[in-house]
Amino acid sequence: MLAAHVLARHLETVTVVERDVLPDGPEQRKGLPQARHVHVLWSGGARVVEDLLPGTADRLLAAGARRIGFHEDLVTLTSHGWQHRFPPRQFAIMCGRPLLDFVVRDRILAGGRITVRGRTEAVELAGDAGRVTGVRVRGLEDGTRELLEADLVVDATGRGSRLRHWLTALGLPPVEEDVVDAGIAYATRTFRAPEGATAGFPAVNVAADHRVRVPGRFGVVYPQENGRWMVTLSCTRGGELPTRDEDFLPYARSLRDPLVADLIADAEPLTPVFASHIGANRRLYPERLEGWPDGLLVVGDSLAAFNPIYGHGMSSAARTAAVLDERLARPLEPGGARRVQAAIGAVVDDPWIMAASKDIDFVGCRNRAGDPRLTGERAALHGFADLVASMAIRSPEVSDVVTDVMSMSTPQSELGSTRFMSLMQRGRLRPELTAPPLRPDELALVRLDRRGAVSAP
Ligand SMILES: Cc1cc2nc3c(=O)[nH]c(=O)nc-3n(C[C@H](O)[C@H](O)[C@H](O)COP(=O)(O)OP(=O)(O)OC[C@H]3O[C@@H](n4cnc5c(N)ncnc54)[C@H](O)[C@@H]3O)c2cc1C
């Protein structure tokens, strides 16, 4: 939708080809199975969306989304221990994905410059190896096939994109692809939160420790609109995801801390468990193809999709749309699509390497990536990453920079800067936390008063 929005700023007519009928409200739909699981929009991405579509954050908050300040409003057990709740530096917007999509879509389509062809599937590209001239589509109601001619085709079909196949059908060589697959699986259930908890209790995150050579298990409790908690339990390959309702709570208890289980033990479930096995890191390198055809670009998950645990997919997709906006301000010359595509590809590099370089350490991770940063001797890098992680949970200065990077507000290269190195040397460390930093009033709100409370500094 963001890509369509920016195209409509620069081109005469824009047609969105979509398999689903896009709902007239915040509802689930078949083409977006991931919407049944938690989705956080990091501040780096929220700012991009705000630039493209001013007022979106306010509309989301008015519709019940929560703005979570990092780390004040999040209680998180990282691989290296409990994170101190330092004053917020960045934020994330938490709400159901259907609400997020609806707020964005409603505003974009209200402009009236975009036509949506619902229940229509893109089946192949038209044109030849030098120039894409349109898309062949199929109506899902009656099976009719049709050619939609276009000056520019943008593939935004998501993680399941058939682009590589479509390009070879035009006679082009296969686009290079990297895949790092830790076997991520998600199981999600929505609960009624205790009165006042979605506004007054922090978001909770219990992560695995990738240094322990067993499959990783994770769990989060995130506030949503309408007084709900969305609870997602996840694992890396071999982690035995709970797919039945009765297995959900015992799995939550098996995490490195029982906080998630304690929170949901007496909460009323509002949905069954939804499970998905989608979460490999996958990136295409279209810019490396010598003869990239004119008239074609690729954005969002079609270009690069990541392990969702890091919450970077939507922000990255928004950034690819923003680059499209910038580049289409000038007319596309012959041969220009490849340069625009290279600029789009550059902005997915940070989320790609952050996710892939972390996932590669999980047991059972399958690596089919040629990225030289993921091969060879990585012991020194591990040592540095572990040092940063262990300091970020206890030093506000180090935490600020790490949070800037994680929220996609600052380039990852900042972690290698002299400024950061000197912060690491000077960083004042708070005492190690041995329990979740929850205040007595917060514990009382969720009726866990008897759990040992550690006052947040
Ligand atoms: C379990 C899970 C949890 C996630 N959590 C987060 C999170 O917390 N934060 C975050 O930022 N990101 C998260 N993500 C990633 C996020 O969902 C994606 O990055 C984002 O949806 C990408 O947007 P997109 O528009 O590129 O693709 P999608 O949102 O997948 O949209 C693709 C669209 O194309 C349509 N389509 C597909 N094929 C065709 C076709 N052939 N013809 C016509 N239409 C077609 C589909 O119906 C769909 O509407 C998560 C992903 C998963 C799997």
Residue 267: inside a domain: yes
**Residue 24 belongs to some domain of the structure:** yes
Domain with 273 in it: what CATH number?
3.30.70
Q: Indicate the pairing of strand 132-139 with strand 153-155.
A: unpaired
Tell me the per-residue pLDDT of 120-166, one tens digit each, with 9 for 90 and over. Answer: 999 999 999 999 999 999 999 999 999 999 999 999 999 999 999 99
Q: What is the mean pLDDT of the chain?
A: 95
Q: Given 354, 371, 402, which residue is the final one in a domain?
A: 354
Counting Cα atoms < 13 Å in the Cβ hemisphere of 165 gives 7
For residue 215, the CA-to-ligand 1 centroid distance in Å is 26
% the chain with pLDDT above 90: 91
Which of 39, 95, 141, 348 gets mutated to test ligand 1 (max ligand atoms within 8 A of its CB)?
Answer: 39
What pLDDT was estimated at residue 33?
95
Q: How far is the CA of 301 from the centre of ligand 1 (A)?
A: 6
Ligand 1 pocket, mutate which of 94, 119, 234, 314 (most atoms under 8 A from CB): 314
Element (H, E) at 219: strand 217-224
Q: Establish if 75 belongs to a structural domain.
A: no
Residue whose CA lies nearest to ligand 1 atom number 9: 311
What average pLDDT does range 421-431 have in this prediction? 91
Q: Is the dihedral of CA 27, 160, 297, 145 positive or negative?
A: negative
**In a shared domain, residues 260 and 197:** yes
**In whole angstroms, how far apart are CA 406 and each of 250, 311, 316, 413, 419?**
30, 9, 12, 12, 18
The mean per-residue pLDDT over the stretch 350-363 comes to: 93
Strand (E) or helix (H) holding 389: helix 379-392
For residue 189, the tally of other CB atoms under 10 A from its CB is: 24
Angle subtended at Cα 19 by Cα 13 and Cα 24, rounded to the nearest 5 degrees = 80
Answer whether residue 376 shows pLDDT above 90.
Answer: no
Structure confidence at residue 456 (pLDDT): 44
Mean pLDDT of 434-443: 96
Q: Specify the pLDDT at position 269.
A: 98
Residues with CB under 6 Å of ligand 1 are 17-20, 31-32, 34, 37-41, 121-122, 156-160, 186, 276, 278-279, 300-302, 308, 311-315, 317
Residue 212: pLDDT band (50, 70, 90) is confident
pLDDT at 453 over 60: no
Which CATH number is 174's domain given? 3.50.50.60
Q: Closest residue (by CA) to atom 39 of ligand 1?
A: 157
Element at 318 (helix H, strand E): helix 313-328
For residue 385, being part of any structural domain is answered with no
**Is residue 169 predicted with pLDDT exceeding 60?**
yes
For residues 237 and 207, state if they share a domain.
yes
**Both tokens assigned to 76:** 């998180």
Q: What angle do CA 245, 249, 253 make, to 5 degrees?
A: 155
* 34, 111: one domain: yes
Structural domain contains residue 54: no
In the chain, how long is the greatest CA-to-CA distance? Answer: 69
Q: Compute the average pLDDT of residues 309-331.
A: 96
Residues 134 and 244 in one domain: no
Residue finishing a domain among 247, 277, 307: 277
359 Cα to the center of ligand 1, angstroms: 20
Q: Is 24 in the same domain as 103?
A: yes
Same domain, residue pair 169 and 101: yes
pTM: 0.96
255 lies in the same domain as 136:
no
Do residues 268 and 309 share a domain?
A: no
One domain for residues 323 and 308: yes
Atom of ligand 1 nearest to the CA of 188: 1
Q: For 19-39, what is the mean pLDDT?
A: 97
- Tell me the pLDDT band of 457, cut-offs 50, 70 and 90: very low
Instruction: Band the pLDDT of 379: cuts 50, 70, 90.
Output: low
Claim to verify: residue 132 and residue 151 sit in the same structural domain: yes
Same domain membership, residue 100 and residue 23: yes
**Confidence category of residue 452, pLDDT binned at 50, 70, 90:** low
| Whole-number Cα distances in Å, 429 to 296, 414, 436 | 51, 20, 17
Residue whose CA lies nearest to ligand 1 atom number 20: 314
Residue 251 placed within a domain: yes
- Region 24-38: mean pLDDT is 96
- 455 confidence band (pLDDT: 50, 70, 90): very low
pLDDT bracket for residue 451 (50, 70, 90): low
Q: Within this chain, do residues 200 and 314 fall inside the same structural domain, yes or no?
A: no
Ligand 1 closest atom vs CA 33: 53
Q: What is the 3-state secondary structure (H, E, C) of 152-217?
A: CEEECCHHHCCHHHHHHHCCCCCCCEEEEECCCEEEEEEEECCCCHHHHCCEEEECCCCCCCCCCE
Confidence check: pLDDT of 448 > 90: yes
Nearest Cα to 402, choosing from 67, 51, 76, 182? 76
Q: Which of 75-84, 208-217, 327-336, 443-452 has the lowest mean pLDDT?
A: 443-452
Tens digits of residue pLDDT in 3-28? 999 999 999 999 999 999 999 999 99
Residue 451 lies in a domain: no
- Measuring CA to CA, how many Å separate 435 from each of 118, 204, 207, 399, 430? 50, 13, 14, 19, 14
SS3 148: strand
Domain end residue (candidates: 354, 374, 394): 354
Domain-located, residue 117: yes
Distance of CA 294 to the CA centre of its chain: 29
Q: What is the mean pLDDT of residues 108-114?
A: 94
- Give the structural domain span for 133: 2-39+96-180+279-354
Residue nearest (by alpha carbon) to ligand 1 atom 51? 308
The pair of three-digit structure tokens given for residue 444, joined into one six-digit string? 């009382």
Q: Which atom of ligand 1 is nearest to the CA of 305?
A: 19
pLDDT tens profile 245-275: 999 999 999 999 999 999 999 999 999 999 9
pLDDT over threshold 80, residue 450 = no
Q: Give the pLDDT band of residue 341 (cuts 50, 70, 90).
A: very high
C-alpha distance across the termini of the chain, in Å? 42
Atom of ligand 1 at shortest range from CA of 22: 49
Query: What's the number of CA atoms in the CB half-sphere (13 Å) around residue 444?
Result: 3
Count of domains observed in the chain: 2
